[in-house]
Structure 1
Amino acid sequence: MRIEAFGFPELVRLSVFAGRSSAYFARVDADAWIRTAAAVRETDGRLISLWGAEEAPGTFAISAAYALEDGILWLQLPVAGGHGDSDGYPDISAVFPCATRMQRAVYDLVGLRAIGAGDTRPWLNHGNWPADYFPLQKLSSGTERFQSQEADYPFVHVDGDGVHEIAVGPIHAGVIEPGHFRFSVVGEKVLRLEERLGYAHRGIERLFEHVSALDGHRLAGRIAGDTTVAFTWAYCMAVERALNGRIPPRAQWLRALLLERERIANHLGDLGALGNDAGFAYGLAQFSRLKEDWLRLNNQAFGHRYLMDRIVPGGVATDIDPRFIAAMLTQCDQIDAQVRVMQKIYDDQSGLQDRFAGAGVLSARVAEHFGVCGLVGRASGRKIDVRIDHPYAPYHEVQVQAVNDDRGDVAARVTVRFNEIYESVRLIRTLLSDLPGGSIVTPLEHEGAPSRGVGWIEGWRGDVFIALETGTDGNILRCHCHDPSWQNWPALEHAIIGNIVPDFPLINKSFNLNYAGHDL
């Protein structure tokens, strides 16, 4: 369904720039809020994100971003403040189940309640926050007295003969981000898994209120270190849309080069870790070596191993020296050949395939139910890739070839990673061979009027989304950041059902979802 078909009376098209990725904004009432959610679902659209804001003291709004045929639809519903039964906004989790945790987070951060929601447990607030403290309300100073003891979380209990619980985390053995996993099991077979996240919450969205729109890219790039390129590009895209900026073609192509290099680096690391989790240490050693070589060339060519702060509003901070173009093309040949050798080794290892095949199956039905996206969705038959479906520059010129698998198990997610490496290598060769000339940055200026913009980038886990609102002084009124892990974490709870507990680390790694980018 096309966005203009909804017939919103005050539909605003946000600034357009190179590519075929459009964005629209509309203020709606409660009836239109509910009707739109149902219509989007019926026409195979997706809920990208949901968030709240206090527009002025005591004045609130709830927003939702939907992916439709011709781009993003950003809806905003004015909402009455207060904590009465009638204060809040209509629940849409019955239409989009992935909205459940987003709505719980909205209440914790802003104090807006989803009317009629079935699950209203705290999500980001672990009981340490003072009563009636909502960090994104404008009167919250951050100096309130916090509690040192967490509240008990009401996990869902499973009853029955022989059922017991296993608690894992939030502190794990190894350098791993914090997250709690509560297993209900009979013997070692998992009947239910429930996750408790939010331990990596750092108040990122409140921090954005203290920086100007033209400086916020540095904060965006530190939301999640393994996704710094995608988050920074999404942020800069939002700023550029808000300020009606035009980006030099060379900068757009260099941005895509950085994004594909970030994608390959993470897939190399994951393939090694997946081999190691299945007892194949040789895979970890080889892929770690390949990833390290990849990161070292990042540092030599762009000045940072993980490419942090390379994308800036208006373009990129660093051009590429011609001698590194040749080095990258040579490295692409080497990576392509060596990864294909490793894939054959993985395929021929009966022990690996025994662990991979049939483990952690995420059916297409469950993936569709939760709106699963990114590589996890593509490994369950969901052909979703923003670079293909809504191509932004330069992907409307350098076209991406779809990579997907319909098996939905660990083996499928491994295969998708291998094939995405090959596709990204192909894209890098194309980008480097036809790199446009010219400047790498266009200065941007805030013109003094309030503005809005969105950024939507296909990161290595899935689509990263940022919605930005600025004031007359160029400062950020609200910057909402969304990682695809919001959609994919609930699906992991279903993928583990029927598997044994020792397979969870392998299944979890095959998803490799974000903690920091999710918790903000």
Structure 2
Amino acid sequence: MSAAELIRRGKPLPCRPVPRHLLAPEDFARLPAALVMQPSLALLSLWAEPAMLHAAFLDEADGTLLLASTPAESGQYPALSPARPGAVRFERMIRDLWGLEAVGGLDLRAWLDHGSWPLTLPLSPRPARNGARPEQPVFLPVEGEGWHQIPVGPVHAGIIEPGHFRFTVQGELVVRLEQRLGYTHKGTLGLMLGKSPRTAARFAARISGDSTVAHSLAFAEAAEAASATTPPPRALWLRAAMLELERIANHLNDWGAICNDASFAWLHAQCGLLREGLLRAHMDAFGHRLMMDRVIPGGLATEPQPSGIAAILAALAAVEAALPGLVSIYEEHASLQDRMVGTGVLAPALAAGFAAGGVVGRASGRGFDARVAFPNGPYAGGPPTMALRQEGDVDARVRVRLAELTESIRLVRRILATLPPGEIHAPLPQRGGEGLALVEGFRGEIATWMALDDGGLIRAVFPRDPSWLQWPLLEAAMEGNIVADFPLCNKSFNCSYSGVDL
């Protein structure tokens, strides 16, 4: 029996757009072995509630979503990490937040909890007051001669999020990179519980500030699915335009920053200038440079200003006019290409094994884009052309971004030219339900699951940022590279610290 068949044998529980299958513990225990035999079933997310484990899968053979759950009343569940290595950090997070242990897990060290929280197991039925002193972090051992370790962070030289990187090197060659995150833990999940989706939307908008539109949209779509609410068409069209504008702004920023880390500051400055023009247009149109708190459950919080729409189109025209010249400069500077090509290679097999999405996955041959796989709104009438490469190096990740810049500009123009008239918001009814949403942010797909109680308040929620499945791959991509290339590799991935510190 395949893993997909095993999941479908579980009791179907109502969830939109696909049911959630409740598996008996003995059936869930068979799932890891079944997953080994069905490599096309990709693990999208893994999370918990008190005494209950949930998993989301994508069957890449036929493009269908599957949700599986199992009781964990004993505080334990069979680990999925031996079959899906992308489950490792989810399992560590589940142990820190809910106190559920993955039996047979590949790595049982703490992840988010550094020992400094006032309470341990904060999302479990009985959180305990923490009276122990924080322990020193434990890193994986390395055996052999001629190696040494370089600790970097969590405080960095730039104004960026905190994260600790432990390099094991031989000379300049990186033998192993290991990350330690959790420094930006905000208790987001706990803050959302018991609130209405409209109230909790502010927390979703701040999961990762550069993806505020994408996370807000995934959260809103999950709430709408749970409550069986359909936003007005005008709201759907405007949301899609905002999502693409966020992608353009971030791809410009990433491209410039990657070049800057290769000591090519001029291109960084040019990209920054173009991005600034776009952010100012966002302010004119939506009243916020990042468009934060504008996407809400049921639609939008505000109607864009006509003058702002004109400013956005003008900013896009400036980007489009500048791109050919900037790309030519990027390609013609041999010293820049020498730093990009062949650096930080992520093998396609690893990208597929971790179900990496977004630029990271598509630059290494994994052809998944939620806008194409599950189109809705304006995407249903014309999904984007997917940019796909096989090289898996820093240059390939740049090339995917450049292709997506052009495609997103085309999409925004088409969407704004075909905006339907009407309302921009529909109220959510106060009813119970469950919903799952996949939204293609600039880093990749965000998978948000939400369960509402009978009063329409959030009983449980889990927003999965793409970075969960991409951070481990950065460790792999750095192996065999020199220490000086870490900034290049790190920025070409551009994983979110905050997005995985729920």
Establish whether TM, by shorter chain, passes 0.5.
yes
SS of alignment partner, residue 46 of structure 1: strand
Indicate the residue corresponding to 1:123 in structure 2: 111
Among residues 62, 74, 81, which one is paired with 1:81 in the alignment? 74
- Structure 2 counterpart of 1:458, which letter? E
Aligned ranges for residues 9-48 of structure 1 at < 5 Å? 10-12=11-13, 14-15=15-16, 22-36=17-31, 39=34, 42=38, 44-48=40-44
Q: How does 1:23-422 map to 2 (within 5 A)?
A: 23-36=18-31, 39=34, 42=38, 44-54=40-50, 60-68=51-59, 69-82=62-75, 88-129=76-117, 133-140=120-127, 144-145=129-130, 150-422=134-406
Measured after TM superposition, the shift of residue 482 of structure 1 is: 0.8
8 Å contact from structure 2 (residues 12, 20) kept in 1: yes
Contact 2:149–2:167 at 8 Å: present in 1 too? yes
For residues 9 and 199 of structure 1, the distance between their equivalents in structure 2, rounded to whole angstroms, comes to 38
User: C-alpha separation between the residues in 1 aligned to 2:308 and 2:39?
Assistant: 46
* Amino acid across the alignment from 1:61: M
Q: For 2:423, which of 433, 439, 449 is the aligned residue?
A: 439
Post-superposition Cα deviations, 1:83-126, rounded to whole Å, max 9, x if no partner, equal: xxxxx111110111010111011011011011111311111111
TM-fit CA distance, 1:327: 3.4
Per the alignment, residue 518 of structure 1 pairs with 500
Q: SS in structure 2 opposite 1:284? A: helix
Partner of 2:414: 430
Residue 442 of structure 2 is aligned to residue 452 of structure 1: no
Specify the code of the residue in structure 2 equivalent to 1:111.
G
Per mean C-alpha deviation after superposition, the further-off stretch among 505-514 and 210-219 is: 210-219
Task: Give the superposition deviation at 1:37.
Answer: 5.2
- 2:459 aligned with 1:477, yes or no? yes
Measure, in 2, the Cα distance between the counterparts of 1:393 and 1:39.
36
Question: Over aligned residue pairs, what C-alpha RMSD do you find?
Answer: 2.0
Note if contact 1:63-1:76 (Cα within 8 Å) is conserved in structure 2: yes
Secondary structure, aligned partner of 2:107? coil
Compared CA separation, residues 483 and 7, structure 1 to 2 (3 A): closer
Structure 2: how far apart are the matches of 1:152 and 1:254?
A: 48
Q: Distance in 2 between matches of 1:283 and 1:204?
A: 37
How many angstroms does 1:371 deviate by? 2.0
Deviation string for 1:57-94 (max 9, x for gaps)? xxx10000112334432211111235xxxxx1111101
Q: 1:490 offset after TM fit, Å?
A: 0.6
Asked if 2 retains the 8 angstrom alpha-carbon contact of 1:40 and 1:66, the reply is no
**CA deviation after TM superposition for structure 1 residue 420, in Å:** 0.7
Aligned with 2:254: secondary structure?
A: helix
- SS where residue 380 of structure 2 aligns? coil
Aligned pairs for 1:493-508 within 5 A: 493-508=475-490
- The 2-side partners of 1:24 and 1:491 are apart by 31
| Superposition deviation, residue 152 in structure 1 | 1.4
Deviation at 1:441, TM superposition (A): 1.0
What is the number of residues matched between the two proteins? 498
Distance 1:442 1:372 in 2: 34
Give unmatched runs, 5+ long, in structure 1: 16-21, 55-59, 83-87
1:300-338 CA-partner distances (Å, limit 9, x unpaired): 011110000111111111223444434333332221121
Equivalent pairs: percent with the same residue?
43
Q: Flag the 1:355–1:198 CA change in 2: closer, same or farther, 3 A.
A: same
CA distance in structure 1 between the aligned counterparts of 2:170 and 2:99, rounded to whole angstroms: 39
CA contact (8 A) 2:298 2:427 kept: yes
Partners of 1:9 and 1:351 lie apart in 2 by 57
The change in CA–CA distance for 1:163 and 1:70 in structure 2 (over 3 A counts) is: closer
| Structure 1 letter corresponding to 2:28 | W
Q: Offset at 1:43?
A: 5.3
What is the letter of the counterpart of residue 91 of structure 1?
A: A
Mapped partners of 1:5, 1:479: distance in 2: 25
Contact 1:34–1:92 (CA under 8 A) maintained in structure 2: no
Q: TM-score, normalised to structure 1's length?
A: 0.92
